[in-house]
Chain A
């Protein structure tokens, strides 16, 4: 096994740890921060089931975005749905093949193209639409560049250089079973190493970047609250303390 393989093994261990740990820390923060007022954007569902349905439509179909801007919706939806297909296809590096995965392989294979197409559209907007150009920071451009590079390098392996996927699978299988990266390590091809390096980078920046929109949307009070303030009293802990102690201001409260 090569030095590079060990390095990559360690890198992926670290990246996985940072991704999971980092997201967990942020999600815990969102979970623990109170929402003291009912602020759903109305008209809003009046039942919990209705909220689940609203969130489903937002997360799966990007309903609000569709209403807002059809071009943007098209590129965004194309990218995200393709990314899901690609991710599902990639699960074959971690689990055994099954009928569903076999069925989805060709879709996942070509979804790489639509993913890059969607990303290209999103990136083009950052140059072409003056309003979007104004609000874009360098990191907004780099994030798209990174995703496009991941997509392109992946497509290269699928359609041009043809990497030894069984060897890659053995490498990640080894990682999962603490078998230390498989017997043969990673295929010594630059394109594999580039692809994996970029993916590790993406995993590392996930919890400290706007990519947190993925778990974050589930905590958005304007979308996840039930519209029932008249029927059910909603009070946060810190506000209830004002009532208990009969005070008007938080700085008058006794601890």
Chain B
């Protein structure tokens, strides 16, 4: 069992800022990727085994740093302009949960900055002690590996920084440097390898997906008496749905997928998922690699072209939505072959909300009367993307949908929601068992806020819109006395309340004998 203490919740709704302590979370970091995984991602693999470095690692690390700061203005500017004011120091959930000094955003940045200063700035070259510059050593590299994998790239620090310095940008750069000297992270890189080889993070091959969606169709038919379709690889559909692969089998993700299917069914909009892009998540962002992120994104373009769709809709997934909303047009655009009347890409919640507003969905809110809901804003949706056509739509639309399908909704305390939301503790490539301690400690601020509303407002369930949040919460919140089934997908709530009016799907099953297509 765990050799660390699980923080105690007070129910006050906020966590006290801990006194700074050294090296609480010092360690080896997550498992390191072996050479094969690195090769698959086009990273250098000229090292013997996981844990050893490439030849000339120091020179190559510094070359990569120079390369990155020449290609990313964010990195160059952020390395230069921090004034060490300390505004960010109490904003990181990992610092609050661990009290480790190096988990303060500025201290995390400084791990890289002190090396940047030593080799790239006048002051650091000639007066290293004065400005806190240090040589790049194996110990520094080990610290990078350890502490840059204790950042979920949630951007909360960037909200509160007077210059908008985003630690996510720094930790992405650090991870890319590490990937070039032999210190790739096994979890992320193995998963990206699966995406390239099989098509999704979980390594579910096409036949397994066909089995899954068929099973889902049977389940929903048993439940509702209506053949709600879960189309896969069906050319000519209107919408390509790209959703995290966890939606195909994990709880409560799968209930969300059932919700999307019911909404598509009711609206009569034809849709399909794709075995080519059977994954919305893009772990290329976690490792800071533009090239990887682009290669993963191009699958979505390929699928859209192959299936001749008109629109692209993304399922509930936080980091995926940031890459989709903010980067997809950049990485895999232009999407001039799609229907320009709709946002490209569109979020499933934008889709559902527009149909709720148009009155196209028959809702029975009492179906959710057994619950009092609260909503967890996913970090990368809240601070790295938008929904709707005005700033902040990403906060309103999910809540609007929840309120439209539930009678009981209460928000958590104001400094833990909207753009001040706390990360679930498992984002940014940390959702792996070898990082359990940081996940348990990092969830503390969210758990505290949830405890507050469960104690004072009778909240029974927390809705989330991210595959990682849902997985992290169901696994880690039980450490704090909550139960797994208290976490729900937003579209699970929609699914509960939606009263199906359409008896027959507009999309015939391709293998149905009475089907008039295909």
> Which residue of chain A lies nearest to B343 when distances are taken between CB atoms in the complex?
A230
Q: Is there a chain A Cβ closer than 8 Å to B19's Cβ?
A: yes
Residue-wise interface mask of A (124-137) relative to B, using a CB-CB cutoff of 8 A (1 in contact, 0 not): 01000111101111
| Beta-carbon contact of B72 and A35 below 8 Å | yes
CB distance from A2 to the nearest CB of B (A): 32
Contacting B at CB under 8 A, from A100-147, are 122, 125, 129-132, 134-140, 142
Residue-wise interface mask of B (106-144) relative to A, using a CB-CB cutoff of 8 A (1 in contact, 0 not): 110010000000000111000101111000000000000
Which of A26, A30, A34, A242 touches B71 (beta carbons < 8 Å)? A34
> Which residue of chain A lies nearest to B285 when distances are taken between CB atoms in the complex?
A37
CA A135 to CA B72, docked complex, whole Å: 25
Contacting B at CB under 8 A, from A1-51, are 26, 29-30, 33-39, 41-46
Most chain B beta carbons < 10 A, residue from A76, A222, A223: A222
Inter-chain contacts of A46 with B (CB < 8 A): 389-391
Inter-chain contacts of A45 with B (CB < 8 A): 391
Q: How many residues on A have C-beta within 8 angstroms of the other chain's C-beta atoms?
A: 65
Which of B85, B122, B163, B166 touches A216 (beta carbons < 8 Å)? B163
Q: Is there a chain A Cβ closer than 8 Å to B82's Cβ?
A: yes
Residue-wise interface mask of A (38-66) relative to B, using a CB-CB cutoff of 8 A (1 in contact, 0 not): 11011111100000000000100010110
Bin chain B's interface residue count: 35 or more
CA A29 to CA B71, docked complex, whole Å: 11
CB distance from A144 to the nearest CB of B (A): 10
| Beta-carbon contact of B132 and A139 below 8 Å | yes
CB distance from A118 to the nearest CB of B (A): 13
Which of A44, A134, A139, A212 touches B101 (beta carbons < 8 Å)? A134
| Beta-carbon contact of A213 and B20 below 8 Å | no
CA A29 to CA B169, docked complex, whole Å: 18
Q: A35-B72, A229-B325 are in contact. Are A42 and B86 (CB under 8 A)?
A: no
| Beta-carbon contact of A64 and B42 below 8 Å | no
User: Which of A83-91, A160-168, A182-190, A233-241 lies on the face that meets chain B?
Assistant: A233-241
CA A193 to CA B167, docked complex, whole Å: 42
Inter-chain contacts of B334 with A (CB < 8 A): 233
Inter-chain contacts of B169 with A (CB < 8 A): 39
Contacting A at CB under 8 A, from B324-338, are 325-327, 329-330, 333-334
User: Which of A67-75, A151-159, A171-179, A194-202 lies on the face that meets chain B?
Assistant: A67-75
Inter-chain contacts of A134 with B (CB < 8 A): 20, 101, 104, 107
CA A30 to CA B329, docked complex, whole Å: 24
Inter-chain contacts of A234 with B (CB < 8 A): 329-330
Inter-chain contacts of B325 with A (CB < 8 A): 229-230
User: Which of B267-275, B379-387, B491-499 lies on the face that meets chain A?
Assistant: B379-387
| Beta-carbon contact of A132 and B294 below 8 Å | no
| Beta-carbon contact of B330 and A36 below 8 Å | yes
CA A216 to CA B74, docked complex, whole Å: 10
| Beta-carbon contact of A125 and B86 below 8 Å | yes
| Beta-carbon contact of B104 and A131 below 8 Å | yes
Residue-wise interface mask of B (291-313) relative to A, using a CB-CB cutoff of 8 A (1 in contact, 0 not): 10011000000000000000000
Q: A42-B384, A136-B84 are in contact. Are A30 and B155 (CB under 8 A)?
A: no
Inter-chain contacts of B345 with A (CB < 8 A): 230
Which of B122, B166, B329 touches A230 (beta carbons < 8 Å)? B329
CA A54 to CA B123, docked complex, whole Å: 32
Which of A41, A213, A238 touches B83 (beta carbons < 8 Å)? A213
| Beta-carbon contact of A229 and B330 below 8 Å | yes
Q: A38-B327, A248-B291 are in contact. Are A233 and B333 (CB under 8 A)?
A: yes
Most chain B beta carbons < 10 A, residue from A30, A67, A131, A142: A131
Contacting A at CB under 8 A, from B158-177, are 158-166, 169
| Beta-carbon contact of B72 and A227 below 8 Å | no
Which of B19, B86, B163, B327 touches A37 (beta carbons < 8 Å)? B327
Contacting A at CB under 8 A, from B31-60, are 42
| Beta-carbon contact of A35 and B330 below 8 Å | no
Which of A34, A135, A140, A250 touches B104 (beta carbons < 8 Å)? A135
CA A132 to CA B17, docked complex, whole Å: 13
CA A140 to CA B85, docked complex, whole Å: 9
Q: Is there a chain B Cβ closer than 8 Å to A208's Cβ?
A: yes
> Which residue of chain A lies nearest to B346 when distances are taken between CB atoms in the complex?
A230
Residue-wise interface mask of B (385-407) relative to A, using a CB-CB cutoff of 8 A (1 in contact, 0 not): 11001111011000000000000
> Which residue of chain B lies nearest to A22 when distances are taken between CB atoms in the complex?
B122
Contacting B at CB under 8 A, from A223-255, are 223, 227, 229-230, 233-236, 238-239, 242, 248-250
CA A67 to CA B130, docked complex, whole Å: 31
Q: Is there a chain A Cβ closer than 8 Å to B249's Cβ?
A: no
CB distance from B338 to the nearest CB of A (A): 11
CA A116 to CA B72, docked complex, whole Å: 37
Q: Is there a chain A Cβ closer than 8 Å to B479's Cβ?
A: no
Q: Is there a chain A Cβ closer than 8 Å to B469's Cβ?
A: no
Q: Is there a chain A Cβ closer than 8 Å to B81's Cβ?
A: yes
Q: Is there a chain B Cβ closer than 8 Å to A95's Cβ?
A: no
> Which residue of chain A lies nearest to B88 when distances are taken between CB atoms in the complex?
A68
| Beta-carbon contact of A212 and B81 below 8 Å | yes
CA A215 to CA B392, docked complex, whole Å: 28
Inter-chain contacts of A208 with B (CB < 8 A): 121-123
Inter-chain contacts of B76 with A (CB < 8 A): 29-30, 33
| Beta-carbon contact of B19 and A64 below 8 Å | no
| Beta-carbon contact of A72 and B386 below 8 Å | no
| Beta-carbon contact of A137 and B130 below 8 Å | yes
Q: Is there a chain A Cβ closer than 8 Å to B77's Cβ?
A: yes
Q: Is there a chain A Cβ closer than 8 Å to B459's Cβ?
A: no
> Which residue of chain A lies nearest to B336 when distances are taken between CB atoms in the complex?
A233
Inter-chain contacts of B17 with A (CB < 8 A): 131
Q: Is there a chain A Cβ closer than 8 Å to B419's Cβ?
A: yes
> Which residue of chain A lies nearest to B42 when distances are taken between CB atoms in the complex?
A249
> Which residue of chain B lies nearest to A208 when distances are taken between CB atoms in the complex?
B122
| Beta-carbon contact of A142 and B295 below 8 Å | no
| Beta-carbon contact of B87 and A69 below 8 Å | yes
Inter-chain contacts of B389 with A (CB < 8 A): 46
CA A135 to CA B113, docked complex, whole Å: 12
| Beta-carbon contact of A130 and B19 below 8 Å | yes
Inter-chain contacts of B77 with A (CB < 8 A): 30, 33, 216, 219-221
CB distance from B463 to the nearest CB of A (A): 20
- 11 of the cross-chain contacts (CB-CB < 8 Å) are A37-B330, A65-B87, A76-B85, A131-B89, A131-B90, A135-B106, A139-B127, A209-B131, A217-B163, A230-B344, A249-B42
Interface residues of B (CB under 8 A from A): 17, 19-20, 42, 69-74, 76-78, 80-91, 101, 104, 106-107, 110, 121-123, 127, 129-132, 155, 158-166, 169, 290-291, 294-295, 325-327, 329-330, 333-334, 343-345, 382-386, 389-392, 394-395, 419
Given contacts A129-B86, A132-B89, 17 further A-B contacts (CB under 8 A): A26-B80, A37-B290, A42-B384, A43-B391, A64-B159, A65-B162, A68-B87, A72-B86, A131-B20, A135-B84, A137-B132, A138-B132, A140-B83, A210-B80, A219-B77, A220-B163, A233-B329
